[in-house]
Amino acid sequence: MKKIGIITFHNSYNCGSMLESYAMQEIIKKYANVPVEIIDFSNAGQKRLYNSWFKNNLNKNIIKNVLLITAHKKIVNNNSKYEMFKKKNFNLSKEYTRLEDLEDKEYIMVISGSDQIWNITIDDSDDAYFLPWVKNAKKVAYAPSFGAKRIQDYTAESEKYKNYLNSYDALSIRENNGRKWIKELIGKDVPVLIDPTLLLSSEEYDKLVSTDLTVNGKYIFFYCPDFNLNICKYVKNISKKYHLKVITWSTKSYYINFIKRFGFELAEYENPSAYLYYIKNAELVITTSFHGTIFSTIYRKNFITVKNGGMYGKDDRVITLLSQLDMLDRLIPYKFDEDFNYLANINYDNYERNLKRLKEEAKDFLMKNIGELKDERCE
C-alpha cells in the first residue's frame, strides 16, 4: 500500500520544529486511510547547525567553543534527549541526506510543511522541501513559511522557485506576507492556515510531557533563544517584582552570553517533552518565539510575547499568529512598568472562538486534499 509522506524540519534540535512535525504527522493520520510517515531527510547544513560544537572556521567560533567546554556534556545530553523524542514519537522513513536520493515511488501524496522550510537563507535550506523530486505523487503544501525572507530578494533563480510552486496540486502558507509573495511570484491566491501545532489539543500534548522533571516552587519560563540582553533585564525586573525564579532554555546561547549573571536557571535538559513540561507548569511564560507563543496559548497560560523590532516589516510570523487568535494585546514591549500587572489572568474567550474557526479552515483544506484519497486505489 502506498503512503503519505511528510517532509519538514523534524530533525532539528528545536522544540517548535519537532512539535510541528509531530502535530503534522498526527493530524494527517486522523484524515488519511493510508499509512503516514515523516520522510527522514536531513541535509549536511542541518547536521552542522545542531552539532554540539561550532565549526572552528572563524575566530568567533573558536571563542564560542572555548566558552562551551564546561557545558559540552550538557549539550550532548540535550541532543541525545532530542534523538530519544524523535525515535519514540515519529514514524520515519529510511534516512536521506541528499535531494538526489529522494524518490516518490512509495507515496500517493507528499506534504511539505509546516515550519520555515521555504526560507532559502538558513543553513538547513534545501530545494528538497519544494518537492522537485516528486514526479507522480500528489503535492500538497500545508502552511510552510518563508521565514520572513521573500525568495526574489535572495536569489537570481526566482524562475526555478516559480516552477516549483506551480507544480503543487494544493498550496497554502502560514503568514500573510507569504501569501502576498506567492501571489507576486506565481499569480495565485493561497489560504493562510494556522501552524499544525494548533490543531492538537493540550490533552493530546499531555501524552508527550516529561514525567521525570520536578521544579520546586513557582517560576517564570523564559524562552528567548538569542537572549537579547535588554529583554533579559526586563525579565529579571518582572521576576524580582513577583519573587519568582526564572527557568530558561537554549544551553549554547546561555553559556555564550553569560546569562547566569541574571540568576536565571537553565532547564534540567532540553527536548520537546521538557519544553511542554516547563510551559505547562509555569506561573508566567515570557517569550520572543512563535512556537513559544503557540504552546502558551494551547495550555491557556499567562504569557507575554515580547514586542521587538524584528516582528515588524517582513517578519510578520508572530503578528499574523496573534492577529488570527485575537491576542495582539499579549504583544508587550520590554519596557518594565512597575505598575503593570504582568500576572493578570488572560481572557481566552475570543481565542476559543477564533481557534475553532481556524481549525475548521485547516480541516477543510486537509479534507479537500487528503479525504479524496479515500476514493482512490492505494495499493
Condensed to tens digits (0 to 9), the pLDDT of residues 103-148 reads 999 999 999 989 999 999 999 999 999 999 999 999 999 999 999 8
The mean pLDDT of 163-179, rounded to a whole number, is 97
- Domain with 279 in it: what CATH number? 3.40.50.2000
Residues 148 and 243 in one domain: no
**Residue 309 domain-assigned?**
yes
**How confident is the model at residue 49, as a pLDDT?**
87
The verdict on 42 and 167 lying in the same domain is: yes
Q: What is the CATH number of the domain that holds 85?
A: 3.40.50
| Rounded Cα distance, 363 and 167, in Å | 23
Tell me what the pLDDT averaged over the chain comes to: 94
Q: Same domain for 208 and 188?
A: no
What pLDDT, on a 0 to 100 scale, did the predictor assign at position 372?
A: 63
C-alpha–C-alpha distance, residues 270 and 78, integer Å: 5
Q: Residue 304: beta bridge partners?
A: 286
Are residue 10 and residue 139 in the same domain, yes or no?
yes
CA–CA distance, 348 with 300 (Å, rounded to integer):
7
- What pLDDT sits at residue 379? 38
Q: What share of the chain is helix, strand, coil (3-state, %, to 5)?
A: 45, 15, 40
Is residue 55 in some structural domain? yes
Is the domain of 234 the same as that of 170? no
pLDDT band at 375 (very low <50, low <70, confident <90, very high): very low
Confidence of residue 378 (pLDDT cuts 50, 70, 90): very low
pLDDT at 374 exceeding the cut of 90: no
Please give the average per-residue pLDDT across 358-376, as a whole number: 83
Residue type, 167: S
Would you state the pLDDT for residue 312?
64
252, part of any domain: yes
**Maximum distance among all alpha carbons in the chain?**
65
pLDDT at 298 over 60: yes
**Do 249 and 296 reside in the same domain of the chain?**
yes
Do residues 158 and 283 share a domain? Answer: no
Beta strand 107-112 with 265-266 is unpaired
Instruction: Provide the grid cell at 37.
Output: 510517515
Distance between CA atoms of residues 32 and 34, nearest Å: 5
**What is the pLDDT, as a whole number, of residue 377?**
34
Query: What average pLDDT does the segment 290-304 reach?
Result: 97
Percent of all residues in the chain with a pLDDT value above 90, rounded to a whole number: 87
Domain count, the chain: 2
Judgement on whether residues 283 and 334 belong to the same structural domain of the protein: yes
List, for residues 42-76, the tens digit of each pLDDT value.
999 998 888 889 887 788 889 988 989 999 999 99
How far are the Cα atoms of 68, 162, 201, 309 from residue 280, in angstroms, in the given order? 29, 42, 13, 28
**Do residue 296 and residue 261 come from a single domain?**
yes
Eight-state DSSP code of residue 243: T
Tell me what the mean pLDDT of segment 166-187 comes to.
Answer: 97
Residue 254 neighbours by CB under 8 Å, 6+ apart = 71, 227, 248, 260, 264, 266
pLDDT greater than 70 at residue 313: no
In a domain, 351, yes or no: no
β-strand pairing of 303-307 with 138-141: unpaired
Residue 339 pLDDT > 50: yes
Do 163 and 281 belong together in one domain? no
On whether residue 183 sits in a domain, the answer given is yes
pLDDT, average across residues 343-363? 96
Residue 16 belongs to a domain: yes
My answer on whether 274 and 143 are in the same domain is no
Beta bridge partners of 222: 248, 286
Provide the residue range defining the domain that includes 212: 202-346
Residue 26: inside a domain: yes
Same domain for 280 and 232: yes
Per-residue pLDDT, 54: 87
Which of the residue ranges 145-154, 241-250, 307-316 would you say has the lowest mean pLDDT? 307-316
Residue of 85, 123, 51, 35 lying closest to 379 (CA atoms): 35
Task: Flag whether pLDDT at 376 surpasses 60.
Answer: no
Segment among 108-112, 294-298, 313-317, 339-343 with least mean pLDDT: 313-317
